[in-house]
């Protein structure tokens, strides 16, 4: 095989990362990260009302900066060897666009308008709309929610679009259509000028927008028009054809080829969500739950079509043929807050301390800033080490992990987190222990749901920052699950997965499985369950479920 390179681009919640990869062996030749400046400054967001918006300029600037930096680091000869680019993004993260496919926030009249920006996956302003979709769906003989676990979430495409259309007349008047972040970036790179010609991925369409082959695409206009007349006709301005991520969206446009210093012969692959491409980058296996653990978790499972095609798993984020690996059923679940749970705890401690340091009469401002930065970097690591040494008692502090609602099983973004069993001896390490256990219990509830619905989980694969950096959390995960969890060697499985799809879209490999085998980096750690903790965690999990049922508004006892 002649030397050829591909670029994988991974859009996360806080930053975008690009990697330049050798298609022969998956070796990472260069990587670069760009932290979204507007997002970093907290613009366009209001955490108290669960509003989280991102400006498309953050995405565009990050795309150009990181790819250019990768090529610079790799040397002058690298650009000529690049054959393809594929991207993954968070999701569901849709935006309103005009007919040319331009996000409204890129127009002068909307450049500071949050409702004209991408509605990030963690935005929960559409809780009311999601509830209405769930109720509305019961009125139709066809169950349009059957492939998304039976419950539509406020994190998803239709609920978000409807909410924006309802609350913002200006956006409503200017919006021609809506598009997911993972579908828009390939359209941008390939020079798209007509949104009707955009190639949408089956990943976003099937998991978030209710597309299914069974009913010939999206649900009919009648479904949406009777939900709210504001949606009348929108289906005709969306899509009826979808593509798997091993296919090409087009070629790099003249403009972007010039901006990046690449050839227009470079293939641009169909986009997909980060966890789906991350599962491939992490070398997913049938019936092994691939857990991408970052701010939230996305849990991916693939299985042969003929073995699971008659199974409908209640309360997950969808099951879509080809959404992870073409030709296999892709199933998605996850937790709305995982790393975000620990980040919330850290911020609660460090933020007031940081303010006090800045007001100190004993140290100057630069030193105060350095001390605050050091505290942020070390706090969770040091407290985790302390928590790991604590004796285990069934009377310990107990938490529920719904700080950002519950994604699965059974999506409900109304739900709130809980910490109970507090006393005067409850210190930071003990509370962190409870929070870590709660996120692992939430993960077990997902495994139990797959198992109870007839889809066995035969193993766990850990991916992402938390999996790589937090041995204590991974050990608790193995103990709670009572099964081993393998940690993938790659630091950037999502970007690596995007690179594998790029190599397949360019025809370097015939199947993504072949790219995964050739380019995969393997595993470098494995955590085994400790039998001595089995009874403790089994009993604590039962306490967790009872506390969740007690605190849930509906008395829900599923989690």
Given a cut of 80, whether residue 559 has pLDDT beyond it is no
Given a cut of 80, whether residue 201 has pLDDT beyond it is yes
The answer to whether the beta carbons of residues 438 and 476 sit under 8 Å apart is no
Summarize pLDDT for 501-538 with one digit per residue, the tens.
999 999 999 999 999 999 999 999 999 999 999 999 99
| pLDDT score recorded for residue 465 | 86
Confidence of residue 464 (pLDDT cuts 50, 70, 90): confident
Burial 183-213 (b: 16+ CB within 10 A, else e): bbbbbbbbbbeebeebbbbbbbbbbbbbbbe
Given a cut of 90, whether residue 443 has pLDDT beyond it is yes
| pLDDT score recorded for residue 555 | 47
The answer to whether the beta carbons of residues 283 and 488 sit under 8 Å apart is yes
What does the block give as tokens for 22?
A: 């050798």
| pLDDT score recorded for residue 553 | 76
Task: Tell me which DSSP letter residue 296 carries.
Answer: S
Summarize pLDDT for 340-390 with one digit per residue, the tens.
999 999 999 999 999 999 899 899 989 999 999 999 999 999 999 999 999
Rounded to whole angstroms, how far apart are CA atoms 31 and 495?
Answer: 10
Given a cut of 70, whether residue 423 has pLDDT beyond it is yes
Given a cut of 70, whether residue 420 has pLDDT beyond it is yes
Rounded to whole angstroms, how far apart are CA atoms 486 and 225?
Answer: 47
Nearest to 246 by CA among 520, 508, 517: 508
Main-chain dihedrals φ then ψ at residue 51, nearest 5 degrees: -95, 120
Summarize pLDDT for 173-198 with one digit per residue, the tens.
999 999 999 999 999 999 999 999 99
Q: Which helix (H) or strand (E) holds 196?
A: none
Q: Which helix (H) or strand (E) holds 319?
A: strand 319-321
Write out the E strands in 398-489.
Answer: 398-400, 418-420, 459-463, 485-488
Which stretch of 96-100, 135-139, 251-255, 357-361 has the lowest confidence by average pLDDT?
Answer: 357-361
Number of H helices, E strands in the chain: 19, 22
The answer to whether the beta carbons of residues 333 and 377 sit under 8 Å apart is no
Q: Which helix (H) or strand (E) holds 200?
A: strand 200-201
Burial class (CB in 10 A: 0-12, 13-18, 19+), 50: middle
The answer to whether the beta carbons of residues 316 and 335 sit under 8 Å apart is no
Given a cut of 70, whether residue 211 has pLDDT beyond it is yes
The answer to whether the beta carbons of residues 154 and 127 sit under 8 Å apart is yes
CB atoms within 10 A of CB 321: 19
Read off the pLDDT of each residue in 424-435 and give the average, rounded to a whole number.
98
Given a cut of 80, whether residue 557 has pLDDT beyond it is no
Main-chain dihedrals φ then ψ at residue 383, nearest 5 degrees: -70, -35
| pLDDT score recorded for residue 1 | 54
Nearest to 458 by CA among 283, 278, 302: 302
What does the block give as tokens for 74?
A: 């790799």
| Average pLDDT of the residues of the chain | 96
Summarize pLDDT for 239-266 with one digit per residue, the tens.
999 999 999 999 999 999 999 999 999 9
Summarize pLDDT for 317-327 with one digit per residue, the tens.
999 999 999 99
Given a cut of 90, whether residue 491 has pLDDT beyond it is no
CB atoms within 10 A of CB 226: 13
What does the block give as tokens for 340?
A: 């975000």
Mapped onto helix, strand or coil, the DSSP state of residue 282 is coil
Rounded to whole angstroms, how far apart are CA atoms 33 and 50?
Answer: 26
Q: What is the DSSP string of 345-387?
A: HHHHHHHHHHHHHHT-SSS-HHHHHHHHHHHHHHHHHHHHHHH
Residue that has been written with the tokens 């597309």 in this structure: 211
Q: Give all domains of the chain, ordered by start, each with its CATH number.
A: 5-282+490-521 (3.30.420.40), 339-488+525-551 (3.30.420.40)
**Percentage of the residues of the chain whose pLDDT score is greater than 70:** 99
Mapped onto helix, strand or coil, the DSSP state of residue 470 is coil
Rounded to whole angstroms, how far apart are CA atoms 507 and 113?
Answer: 41
Rounded to whole angstroms, how far apart are CA atoms 156 and 174?
Answer: 21
Residue that has been written with the tokens 């995969």 in this structure: 520
| pLDDT score recorded for residue 554 | 61
Read off the pLDDT of each residue in 222-246 and give the average, rounded to a whole number.
97
Rounded to whole angstroms, how far apart are CA atoms 381 and 348?
Answer: 16
Rounded to whole angstroms, how far apart are CA atoms 98 and 194?
Answer: 9
Rounded to whole angstroms, how far apart are CA atoms 435 and 429?
Answer: 10
Find the helix packing angle between 274-281 and 493-505, rounded to 10°.
90
Taking the CA atoms of the chain, what radius of gyration do you get in angstroms?
Answer: 23
| Triad 62, 66, 68: Cα angle to 5° | 120
Task: Tell me which DSSP letter residue 392 carries.
Answer: P
Given a cut of 70, whether residue 282 has pLDDT beyond it is yes
Can the peptide bond before residue 521 be classed as cis, meaning omega within 30 degrees of 0? no
Write out the E strands in 69-190.
Answer: 82-89, 94-97, 118-119, 177-180
CB atoms within 10 A of CB 167: 12
Burial 239-267 (b: 16+ CB within 10 A, else e): beebbbbbbbbbbbbeebbebbebeeebb
Rounded to whole angstroms, how far apart are CA atoms 534 and 69?
Answer: 48
User: 410 to each of 37, 42, 123, 526, 530, how far by Cα in Å?
Assistant: 34, 30, 18, 30, 30
Give the pTM.
Answer: 0.91
Summarize pLDDT for 8-65 with one digit per residue, the tens.
999 999 999 999 999 999 999 999 999 999 999 999 999 999 999 999 999 999 999 9
CA dihedral 56, 159, 335, 516 (to 10 degrees): -60
């Amino acid at each position: 095989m002649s030397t050829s390179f591909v670029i994988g681009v991974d859009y996360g919640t806080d930053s975008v990362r690009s990697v330049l990869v050798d298609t022969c062996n998956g070796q990472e030749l260069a990587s670069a990260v760009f932290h979204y400046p507007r997002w970093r400054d907290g613009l366009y967001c209001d955490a108290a009302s669960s509003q989280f918006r991102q400006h498309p300029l953050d995405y565009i600037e990050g795309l150009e900066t990181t790819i250019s930096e990768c090529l610079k680091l790799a040397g002058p000869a690298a650009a000529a060897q690049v054959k393809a680019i594929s991207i993954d993004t968070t999701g569901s993260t849709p935006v309103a666009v005009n007919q040319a496919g331009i996000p409204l926030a890129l127009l002068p009249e909307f450049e500071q308008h949050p409702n004209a920006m991408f509605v990030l996956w963690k935005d929960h302003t559409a809780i009311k709309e999601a509830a209405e979709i769930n109720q509305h769906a019961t009125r139709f003989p066809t169950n349009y929610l059957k492939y998304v676990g039976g419950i539509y979430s406020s994190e998803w495409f239709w609920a978000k679009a409807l909410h924006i259309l309802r609350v913002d007349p200006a956006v409503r008047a200017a919006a021609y259509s809506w598009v997911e972040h993972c579908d828009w970036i390939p359209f941008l790179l390939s020079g798209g000028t007509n949104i009707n010609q955009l190639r949408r991925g089956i990943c976003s369409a099937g998991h978030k927008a209710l597309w299914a082959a069974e009913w010939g695409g999206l649900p009919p206009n009648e479904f949406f028009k009777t939900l709210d007349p504001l949606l009348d006709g929108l289906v005709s301005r969306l899509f009826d054809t979808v593509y798997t991520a091993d296919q090409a969206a087009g070629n790099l446009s003249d403009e972007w080829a010039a901006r990046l210093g690449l050839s227009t012969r470079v293939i641009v692959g169909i986009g997909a969500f980060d966890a789906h491409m991350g599962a491939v980058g992490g070398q997913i296996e049938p019936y092994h739950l691939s857990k991408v653990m970052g701010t939230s978790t996305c849990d991916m499972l693939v299985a042969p079509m003929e073995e699971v095609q008659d199974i409908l798993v209640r309360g997950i984020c969808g099951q879509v043929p080809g959404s992870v690996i073409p030709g296999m059923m892709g199933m998605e679940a996850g937790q709305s807050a995982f790393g975000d749970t620990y980040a919330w705890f850290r911020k609660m401690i460090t933020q007031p301390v940081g303010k006090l340091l800045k007001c100190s009469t004993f140290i100057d401002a630069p030193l105060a800033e350095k001390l605050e930065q050091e505290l942020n970097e070390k706090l969770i690591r040091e407290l985790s080490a302390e928590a790991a040494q604590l004796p285990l008692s069934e009377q310990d502090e107990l938490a529920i992990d719904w700080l950002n609602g519950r994604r699965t099983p059974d999506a409900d973004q109304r739900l709130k987190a809980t910490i109970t069993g507090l006393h005067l001896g409850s210190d930071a390490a003990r509370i962190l222990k409870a929070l870590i256990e709660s996120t692992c219990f939430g993960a077990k509830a997902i495994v139990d749901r797959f198992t109870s619905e007839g889809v066995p989980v035969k193993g766990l694969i850990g991916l992402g920052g938390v999996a790589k950096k937090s041995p204590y959390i991974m050990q608790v995960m193995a103990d709670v699950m009572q099964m081993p969890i393998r940690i993938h060697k790659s630091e950037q499985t999502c970007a690596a997965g995007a690179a594998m799809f790029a190599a397949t879209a360019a025809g370097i490999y015939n199947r993504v499985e072949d790219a995964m085998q050739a380019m995969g980096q393997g595993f470098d750690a494995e955590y085994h369950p400790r039998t001595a903790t089995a009874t403790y965690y089994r009993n604590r999990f039962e306490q967790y479920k009872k506390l969740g049922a007690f605190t849930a508004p509906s008395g829900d006892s599923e989690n």
